[in-house]
Chains A and B, each alone.
Chain A
Amino acid sequence: MTILSVKNLSKTFKTPQPVVILSNVSLEAHKGDTIAICGRSGEGKTTLLHILGTLEKPDSGELLISGQIVNSFNGAEIRRTKIGFVFQAYNLLEDFTVLENVLMPARIARKSVNLEKGMHLLEEVGLLNRAHFPAKLLSGGERQRVAIARSLCNDPDLLLADEPTGNLDRAHARQIGDVLLSCAQKRNKTLIIVTHDQELASLCSRRYTLSGGRLALWLSGLCWFVFRLVDVLSEIG
């Protein structure tokens, strides 16, 4: 079952010098797929993820999430019901407790708030004992676990993770990567991770590279080199 379908997405930032960030990017993800998108800083990985998560609009192209075409009017609704986000900077609501943070998506979606479900999610990410802690008192690793639990609250079809281990040390990064993948796989969710972490990327079922605005399936280091060479040559003319 196709959860995500992207066709010919393009995005150019209209800074004084227009910068092409995405150029005819196409991608398809099925239920249970785990996809890693790698690339150098500034190549547009976060922009692509934001477009996939309906936080940003593409200049052109078509985006379908769970069969529903994304347009200007249904972005918020799709985010509420079909998408869960995990950010590099965790992005918890500092003034709320851990449990309140986890249950916030349910409140926003006007669903009945199930405390047991919240506790279960926290148990799954290993933070049951921190349920009533203020979010601001948690460590980085703990915050990211809360963010993972929160992203699963509304049982979304698509999980989008933007550098989920980017702010963590190696040991914690490994743990968070494992938690994220296991949570997604256990629920048969589609997971798209934007990451620099090759170790985390290697754990995904598919791996793409974003370079020069184009998305390519990762084959090997040599293939990537050839791909970049073609790019450079085409730019030279």
Chain B
Amino acid sequence: MFEWRIALKYLIPQRKSLSTALISLMSVLVISLVVWLVLVFLSVTRGIERNWVNKLTSLHAPLRISPTQKYYSSYFYQIDSVSEGSNYTLKTLGEKETALASDPYLPQSDMEPPRHWPIAERLSNGELLDPVKRAVAELQSLNLLFQDYEIGGALLKLGLRRPEESGTSYLSQMSYLLSLTDKNVHLQHLIAKPSLEDLNHLFQADPDVLQHIDKGVQASRVINGVEQLDLTSGTARVYYEEMPDSPPPWAFFVKDKCFLPSFGPEIGILLPKFYRDSGAKIGDQGMLSYSALSAASTQEQRILIRVAGFYDPGILPVGNRCLIVPQEVTRSIYAASQTFSPDGTPTNGIFIWTEDPARMKQKIAANFEKANIASYWKISTYEEFEFSKDLLQQFQSDKTLFLLIAGIILIVACCNIISLLVLLVNDKRKEIAILQSMGASFKSIAAIFGLCGTIMGLTACLIGSMAAVCTLHYLDFLVALLSALQGRAAFHPAFFGNTLPNQLSYDALLFVLIATPLLSLTAGLIPALKAARIRPSSALRSE
């Protein structure tokens, strides 16, 4: 293809046309810079978004099923409150699933329900339609990993007893209680391992804890004139093949299942990692208090707790106030009084862990439709969760905005190609006429300069991409350098994690790989048309 040969000849810098070569180099460098910027920014933001979504879907699962208003106003749900078999209390989904009878009401022993009581939805055989058992059966038929959850509310009062500070301070906060979804395999990544400080704190209280610590090294030290044995190193054992005879005093895993230890009347709970920064340690004791309505008054109920670990709540707006507790705690609170989440998050539902939530949502919806229970359930993906929807949408808007800005910068950068190629066309006027005299067509001449633009765009794209790959490879070093220059962390770990994500975003790469050559080609078209319209006769005559 002679157009290709000519275009390459024109683009290779010649000593006699240094100014053109310089402009050409500048154009390529500017486009490379934009490509580099787009790739690095989009890769990092994409990585941050992925991390956030991972954290979000690790704790809350990417897919959630929650009961609709129809469920709560149904005979099926309400009937427990007038049935002796249900202890006259409303039941959670988990309790409904394990209940022996779908309809616990016994007309002969239970009192008559009030007038305007919801009408029972019954099957053709007269049995009560059980939307919970049916939903569970449908989810099982799809081989999904799922678990019901409850959210409750209680006041946390935590005592921070520190012998070395000779006193106990208290920390109180109204908290949300999320039931432990022990089947969640992602919990392993969310729960922080006990630190050496935690281990020492536990060791001081009970030296037997050493049996759960690997490579524990002890040394004595004197605190306030008292000699004390301390751990100088050691790693808490968290993973077990089978249930240990005496469980460790922290959250642990048997195979993939998570367990919270209990200490007599005290129940082990997980606190958000923010509490650790506030001085809480594993082993700290406290209580959860909540109100329970009785026939005559409201009574305060207390549950004794002990800190069994810390977890990363990610970016949840209520993350710092969300405790993970065993399911029996949330069920007790649920039975006593119902909690409503201010952001509209359903306080009872089913978490489903799946790789492709959008597709699975459609599948489940179709199955529920067939099972006649679709109206009882709302199926939401993480993008629709009340607490994350706005954040994810904002993230998407920011990305779109940046892409738009990047596109505009790229267009401006590609405009350099127009000036360069116009100069080149003027410089090569005679050669263009010579080629035309040899029979080069309008299209061929236009193609030469179109190719020049595209080659420049592709070269810039390649340089920019390579620079972006290098930058991402050494991102930690660059961030450290930036932090050192600023004298503080350049990127706050609470928002961006301990390290910035440094994986190249293939979407961003695809964007620049398509957009840059296309824009360069478009930029090359104007000079290409100018070149193709040269009249060979006058160009040859002018020489």
- The count of chain A contact residues (Cβ–Cβ below 8 Å) is 29
Closest to A162 in B: B540
Contact check, B540 vs A55: say whether CB atoms are below 8 A apart: yes
Contact check, A76 vs B436: say whether CB atoms are below 8 A apart: yes
Contacts of B488 in A (CB 8 A): none
Distance in angstroms from A106 CB to nearest chain B CB is: 9
Contact check, A55 vs B435: say whether CB atoms are below 8 A apart: no
Indicate whether A213 reaches chain B with its CB closer than 8 angstroms.
no
Contacts of A123 in B (CB 8 A): none
Contacts of A92 in B (CB 8 A): 434
Distance in angstroms from B181 CB to nearest chain A CB is: 68
Interface residues of A in 82-136 (CB under 8 A from B): 83, 85, 87, 89, 91-96, 104-105, 107-109
Contacts of A46 in B (CB 8 A): 541
Q: Using known A-B contacts A55-B537, A76-B442, A107-B2, determine if residue A93 contacts B434 with beta carbons closer than 8 Å.
A: yes
Contacts of B536 in A (CB 8 A): 50, 55
Closest to B541 in A: A46
Q: Using known A-B contacts A95-B14, A108-B2, determine if residue A76 contacts B541 with beta carbons closer than 8 Å.
A: no
In Å, the complex CA distance between A47 and B540 comes to 11
B440 CB contact (under 8 Å) in A78, A108, A150: A108
Contact check, B540 vs A108: say whether CB atoms are below 8 A apart: no
Closest to B2 in A: A107
Contact check, A108 vs B541: say whether CB atoms are below 8 A apart: no
Contacts of B431 in A (CB 8 A): 93-94
Indicate whether B9 reaches chain A with its CB closer than 8 angstroms.
yes
Indicate whether A80 reaches chain B with its CB closer than 8 angstroms.
yes
Interface residues of B in 525-543 (CB under 8 A from A): 535-537, 540-541, 543
Contact check, A104 vs B2: say whether CB atoms are below 8 A apart: yes
Q: Using known A-B contacts A89-B543, A95-B14, A96-B9, determine if residue A108 contacts B537 with beta carbons closer than 8 Å.
A: no
Contacts of A81 in B (CB 8 A): 439
Interface residues of B in 435-488 (CB under 8 A from A): 435-442, 444
Contact check, A53 vs B9: say whether CB atoms are below 8 A apart: no
Distance in angstroms from B117 CB to nearest chain A CB is: 88
Contacts of A78 in B (CB 8 A): 439
B439 CB contact (under 8 Å) in A56, A89, A95, A109: A109
Closest to A92 in B: B434
Distance in angstroms from B288 CB to nearest chain A CB is: 83
Contact check, B442 vs A108: say whether CB atoms are below 8 A apart: no
A76 CB contact (under 8 Å) in B5, B9, B433, B440: B440
In Å, the complex CA distance between A14 and B439 comes to 27
Q: Using known A-B contacts A95-B9, A95-B14, A96-B9, determine if residue A76 contacts B537 with beta carbons closer than 8 Å.
A: no
In Å, the complex CA distance between A107 and B438 comes to 10
Closest to A47 in B: B537
Contacts of A50 in B (CB 8 A): 536-537, 540-541
Contact check, B540 vs A91: say whether CB atoms are below 8 A apart: yes
Indicate whether A77 reaches chain B with its CB closer than 8 angstroms.
yes
Indicate whether B430 reaches chain A with its CB closer than 8 angstroms.
yes
In Å, the complex CA distance between A94 and B540 comes to 15
Distance in angstroms from B495 CB to nearest chain A CB is: 55
Interface size bracket, B side: 20 to 34
**CB 8 Å contact bits of B504-543 with A (1 = contact, 0 = none):** 0000000000000000000000000000000111001101
Contacts of A79 in B (CB 8 A): 436-439
Q: Using known A-B contacts A89-B543, A108-B2, A108-B444, determine if residue A80 contacts B430 with beta carbons closer than 8 Å.
A: no
Contacts of A108 in B (CB 8 A): 2, 435, 438-440, 444
Contacts of B540 in A (CB 8 A): 50, 55, 87, 89, 91
Contact check, B437 vs A55: say whether CB atoms are below 8 A apart: yes
Q: Using known A-B contacts A55-B537, A56-B537, A93-B431, determine if residue A104 contacts B543 with beta carbons closer than 8 Å.
A: no
In Å, the complex CA distance between A80 and B540 comes to 17
**CB 8 Å contact bits of A143-182 with B (1 = contact, 0 = none):** 0000000100010000000000000000000000000000
Contacts of A56 in B (CB 8 A): 535, 537
Contact check, A85 vs B9: say whether CB atoms are below 8 A apart: no
Contact check, A80 vs B537: say whether CB atoms are below 8 A apart: no
Contacts of B442 in A (CB 8 A): 76
Distance in angstroms from A168 CB to nearest chain B CB is: 16
Contacts of B437 in A (CB 8 A): 53, 55, 79, 85, 87, 91
In Å, the complex CA distance between A87 and B543 comes to 11
In Å, the complex CA distance between A99 and B271 comes to 81
Q: Using known A-B contacts A91-B540, A104-B2, determine if residue A55 contacts B436 with beta carbons closer than 8 Å.
A: yes
Interface residues of B in 1-49 (CB under 8 A from A): 2, 5, 9, 14
Contact check, A80 vs B439: say whether CB atoms are below 8 A apart: yes
Contact check, A80 vs B541: say whether CB atoms are below 8 A apart: no
Interface residues of B in 184-211 (CB under 8 A from A): none
Contacts of A154 in B (CB 8 A): 439
**CB 8 Å contact bits of A12-49 with B (1 = contact, 0 = none):** 00000000000000000000000000000000001100
In Å, the complex CA distance between A93 and B440 comes to 14
Distance in angstroms from B443 CB to nearest chain A CB is: 9
Closest to B10 in A: A95
Find the residue from A46, A77, A91 having the highest chain B CB count within 10 A.
Answer: A91
In Å, the complex CA distance between A46 and B543 comes to 13
Contacts of A80 in B (CB 8 A): 438-439
Interface residues of A in 50-77 (CB under 8 A from B): 50, 53, 55-56, 76-77
Contacts of B435 in A (CB 8 A): 93, 104, 108
Distance in angstroms from B428 CB to nearest chain A CB is: 10
In Å, the complex CA distance between A6 and B444 comes to 29
Contacts of B5 in A (CB 8 A): 107
Contact check, B439 vs A76: say whether CB atoms are below 8 A apart: yes
Contacts of A83 in B (CB 8 A): 439
Q: Using known A-B contacts A89-B543, A107-B2, A107-B5, determine if residue A76 contacts B441 with beta carbons closer than 8 Å.
A: yes
Contacts of A150 in B (CB 8 A): 438
In Å, the complex CA distance between A3 and B541 comes to 26
Distance in angstroms from A73 CB to nearest chain B CB is: 10
Q: Using known A-B contacts A93-B431, A96-B9, determine if residue A85 contacts B438 with beta carbons closer than 8 Å.
A: yes
In Å, the complex CA distance between A207 and B95 comes to 114
Contacts of A55 in B (CB 8 A): 436-437, 536-537, 540
Q: Using known A-B contacts A79-B438, A105-B438, determine if residue A91 contacts B2 with beta carbons closer than 8 Å.
A: no
Closest to A78 in B: B439
Closest to B538 in A: A56
Contacts of B440 in A (CB 8 A): 76, 108
In Å, the complex CA distance between A67 and B367 comes to 77
Closest to A147 in B: B434
Contacts of B433 in A (CB 8 A): 91
Interface residues of B in 405-449 (CB under 8 A from A): 430-431, 433-442, 444
8 cross-chain pairs, A with B, having the tightest CB-CB distances, nearest first: A80-B439, A107-B2, A56-B537, A79-B439, A76-B441, A55-B537, A50-B537, A105-B438
14 A-B pairs (CB sep. < 8 Å): A55-B437, A55-B536, A76-B442, A77-B441, A78-B439, A79-B437, A89-B543, A91-B433, A92-B434, A94-B431, A104-B2, A104-B438, A105-B439, A108-B439
